[in-house]
Amino acid sequence: MGGVDNLFVKTQSGVRVALIAGLVTAVQVEADYDRTPAPGRRQTDRTFALTLGYRF
């Protein structure tokens, strides 16, 4: 069964900005926290992403 030792949190935040002529860009941060990770693993994992796209 789950308990406080099995705490896992997954977050995702970002912002999308319109540029010019239909171009958009987005910046995103994902962070995962595991209170009891597997041996040899970190408690917190972070991912940063920058994307560029076209909106039509």
- What does the alpha-carbon distance between residue 33 and residue 47 come to, in Å, rounded to a whole number? 12
- What tokens were used for 23? 């171009």
- What does the alpha-carbon distance between residue 32 and residue 22 come to, in Å, rounded to a whole number? 32
Selected residue with higher pLDDT from 48 and 5? 48
Residue 1 confidence (pLDDT) above 80 = no
Residue 25 confidence (pLDDT) above 90 = yes
At 34 the pLDDT is: 92
Name the band, by pLDDT with cuts 50, 70 and 90, for residue 55.
confident
* pLDDT (mean) for 38-53: 95
Residue ranges in 1-56 assigned as alpha helix (H): none
At 44 the pLDDT is: 95
Residue 2 confidence (pLDDT) above 60 = no
